[in-house]
Amino acid sequence: MPEQHPTDDARVALAEAWLAQDPDPETREELSGILDAVRAGDGAAAAELADRFDTRLAFGTAGLRGEIAAGPNRMNRVLVSQAAAGLAAYLLEQAAPGETPSVVIGYDGRKNSAVFARDSAEIMSGAGVRAVLLPRLLPTPVTAFAVRHLGLSAGVMVTASHNPPNDNGYKVYLGGDHGGSQIVSPADAEIAAHILRVAESALVPELPRGDYETADESVVDAYVAATAQAAGGAPAAQPKVAYTAMHGVGWETTAKVLAAAGFDRPTLVAAQIEPDPAFPTVAFPNPEEPGAMDLAFATAREAGAELIVANDPDADRLAIAIPDETAAEGYRRLTGNEVGLLLGWQAAERAVAAATGDGGPEGTLACSIVSSPGLETVARHHGLEFRATLTGFKWISRAPHLVFGFEEALGYLVNPGTVRDKDGISAAVAFLGLAAELKAAGRTIADHLDDFVERFGCFASAQVSIRVTDLARIGEVMARLRANPPAEVGGIRVERIEDLAEGGELPPSDVLRIVLAGGGRVMVRPSGTEPKLKVYIDAVSDEGTVAERRAAATAAAAALEAGMRELVA
C-alpha cells in the first residue's frame, strides 16, 4: 500500500500539539509563522509543514543529524528531549538487575549544542540514569574517551561535525562490551523504538528532570596525557606548523596535547581559531571543501610553514597540507587516503618494532571499503592482519586486535586503546611525530610519499560527489546501475560488479563495488549523513619508476572519474 500522509488539517493539528510542548521560543515563533501562512492559504508554507511533520528525523547508527528548526523532521529541543528519554529507557532496559546505568554527555560550539546537552542530562537523570555532563564545550574525541575512562554505560555527543552552520546532531556511544564505540545494529533500532514510544506517549514538559553531575578537569587532563603518547616519543626536530580549528572546538585541547608531547606552538589561523557557530570565513566548515583551507594556506605562506594541520569543527577529523610549488596556493592538501596510508605505514612499523619473541608483529590495520586498498598492501608487507569494514568508525573501531584504522573522509584512529572513534587530535600528533622524525633525517613528507610509492606502489584515488535536493534521485541512480551494469568505465573493462546489498562477508549495505581490469576499483553508495551520492575511485600501479607509477595510476583514476561522471549524471 502507498504510504499514508496526514491531511493539511491534520498537519496543522500536529503542529499545534508540537507548539504546546516546545520549550524553545525561537522554534515556537518560527512554527507559528508557518502555521499562520498555511491558514492563509500559502501553498509553499503547506509544503514546508508537510516536510516537517510527515516523517521524523531518523535515529540510526549515525544517531541524529539535521537542520535546527521546529517539527519532528528537524533538530530541536522537543526531538532531542524525546531522544534523551528514549535512550534512557534503552539503557535502563539493558542494565543488569540492581545496576544504575550511566551516561556522559559532551557538546561542541554549534548553535544549541549546550542547550541540547543540558536537556539530555536533566531528562536522563530524571529517568533514573546517572548523567555526567562534560565541563564545557569540547571535541568529540574527548566524549568518546570519557565513556571508557569513566567506565560508563554510554556517551552522547551533541555535534553535527562538519555539516552546514544551522545543523546539529546527536551521536551515541556504548560502553561495556562495546568498548566505547558508536552504536550499530540492532542497538540503533532498539533505541529508535524507545524514542518513538516516548514521542507517542509523553509530552516534553511532563518528562521528569533530575540533577546531573559535571565532570571535572581530570577527564580532559587524562585525555591530554593519553593522546600525547601518539607522537611516539619526544620530537627529534620541530616542524614549522600552521594550525586551524575551522571555527570549531579543537584548539584549546590540541594546544594542551601538543605541549604535553613536546611540540612547539604552531602559527595559528587567527580568524578561525575560536569557536563560532556561524562559521563566518568558510562557505562550508569541512576541510575537504574547496576554499575551506584558503586562510590556512595564506597563514602558512606568511609563516613559511612546512606543514598545515586542520581540524574540522568538532576535531574528530584531520586535514594535512604540505608545500607544493605547482599549486596555486603554494600548498597542497593531502587526500584522506594519502594521510591514512602514511599513518598506517607508521603504525605498522611501530607494531613491528614492538614485536617480541619469534611470533612476529601482531595487530590489525583496518579501513572502510571505500578507502584506499593500499592499506591492505601495507598490512601484508609487515605481517599484520587487514580488515575492510563498512563505512563509518562504528565498524572500523570494532575490528579485532586493531592497531590503526582510517577512512578516506579525513578520519583516523591511531590510538584504539584510548579512543574507539576517529580522533583528529591524536592523528595530528601522530602525524607531527612522523614529520619530526623525517625532518631530523633531512627529509620531508613529500619525500616520504615518494618512499611509499617506491615500496608499495602508487595508489591513486578520486571521488565524485553529487549533492541532491530530491533524495529519490539517489535511489534512481543506484537502481539504474543495478539494472544496467556497465561493461566498461572510462575505457577500462569491468571484470565484475559486486552488490553489497546482498550481504556476504559484510552486513548488507546499499553499496556497489565495480572491479576493473588492471586492479582498479569503483565504489558507489549514498552518503550516510548528507544528501549525496558518493563515488570512490581507486587505481594502482607498481611498475616502473616512482614517477611512472604515479603517472599511470593518476591517469587511470582520471579516466575512471570521467567515466563515472557520465554514468551517474
Q: Which residue has the cell 540533577?
A: 211
Q: Last residue of some domain: 450, 478, 501? A: 450
Per-residue burial over 61-97, b = 16 or more CB atoms within 10 Å of its CB, e = otherwise:
bbbbbbbbbbbbbbbbbbbbbbbbbbbbbbbbeeeee
Per-residue burial over 304-334, b = 16 or more CB atoms within 10 Å of its CB, e = otherwise:
ebbbbbbbbbbbbbbbbbbbeeeeeeebbbb
Q: Quote the distance between the C-alpha of residue 457 and its chain's center.
A: 28
In a domain, 325, yes or no: yes
Does one domain contain both 403 and 522? no
Here the cell at position 414 is: 591511531
Exposed / middle / buried, residue 410 (Cβ in 10 Å: 0-12, 13-18, 19+): buried
Here the cell at position 517 is: 581490469
Exposed / middle / buried, residue 36 (Cβ in 10 Å: 0-12, 13-18, 19+): exposed
Answer whether 564's CB lies under 8 Å from 512's CB. no
Does one domain contain both 136 and 7? no
Among candidates 196, 172, 72, 162, which has minimal Cα distance to 120?
A: 172
Q: Quote the distance between the C-alpha of residue 407 and its chain's center.
A: 9
Answer whether 244's CB lies under 8 Å from 296's CB. yes
In a domain, 227, yes or no: no
Does one domain contain both 62 and 31? no
Answer whether 533's CB lies under 8 Å from 567's CB. no
* Strand order across the beta sheet in which 458-467 lies: 458-467, 532-541, 521-526, 512-516, 492-499, 488-489
In a domain, 226, yes or no: no
Per-residue pLDDT of the chain (569 residues; tens, 9 = 90+): 445 567 788 999 999 999 999 999 999 999 999 999 999 999 999 999 999 999 999 898 779 999 999 999 999 999 999 999 999 999 999 999 999 999 999 999 999 999 999 999 999 999 999 999 999 999 999 999 999 999 999 999 999 999 999 999 999 999 999 999 999 999 999 999 999 999 999 999 999 999 999 999 999 999 999 999 999 999 999 999 999 999 999 999 999 999 999 999 999 999 999 999 999 999 999 999 999 999 999 999 999 999 999 999 999 999 999 999 999 999 999 999 999 999 999 999 999 999 887 778 999 999 999 999 999 999 999 999 999 999 999 999 999 999 999 999 999 999 999 999 999 999 999 999 999 999 999 999 999 999 999 999 999 999 999 888 888 899 999 999 999 999 999 999 999 999 999 887 888 999 999 999 989 999 999 987 678 899 999 999 999 999 999 999 999 999 999 999 999 98
Q: Last residue of some domain: 28, 54, 80? A: 54
Here the cell at position 37 is: 501562512
In a domain, 228, yes or no: no
* Dihedral pair phi/psi, residue 366, rounded to 5°: -135, 145
Here the cell at position 424 is: 583528529
At 495, which CATH number?
A: 3.30.310.50
Does one domain contain both 440 and 469? no
In a domain, 231, yes or no: no
At 113, which CATH number?
A: 3.40.120.10
Helices 218-228 and 424-440 cross at an angle (nearest 10°) of 30
Catalytic sites, residue numbers: 161
Give how far Cα 350 sits from Cα of 66, 248, 544, Å.
40, 31, 29
88 Cβ partners below 8 Å, 6+ apart? Answer: 101, 103, 123, 124, 127, 128, 129
In total, how many domains does the chain have? 4
How far is the C-alpha of 241 from the C-alpha of 265, rounded, in Å?
A: 8
Residue 117 identity: A
Does one domain contain both 138 and 21? no
Does one domain contain both 62 and 179? yes
Identify the sign of the CA torsion 380, 458, 162, 528.
negative
How far is the C-alpha of 268 from the C-alpha of 390, rounded, in Å?
A: 36
Does one domain contain both 468 and 352? no
Does one domain contain both 293 and 397? yes
Beta bridge partners of 178: none
In a domain, 94, yes or no: yes
Give the chain's end-to-end CA distance (angstroms, integer). Answer: 31
Does one domain contain both 202 and 262? no
Q: Last residue of some domain: 54, 71, 86? A: 54
- The pTM of the full predicted model, rounded to 2 decimals, is 0.95
Here the cell at position 568 is: 551517474
In a domain, 229, yes or no: no
Does one domain contain both 258 and 324? yes
In a domain, 283, yes or no: yes
How far is the C-alpha of 201 from the C-alpha of 1, rounded, in Å?
A: 27
Structural domain that includes position 375? 238-450
Does one domain contain both 142 and 117? yes
Count CA atoms within 13 Å of residue 124 on its CB side.
33
Does one domain contain both 140 and 197? yes
Say whether 522 sits in a helix, a strand or coil: strand
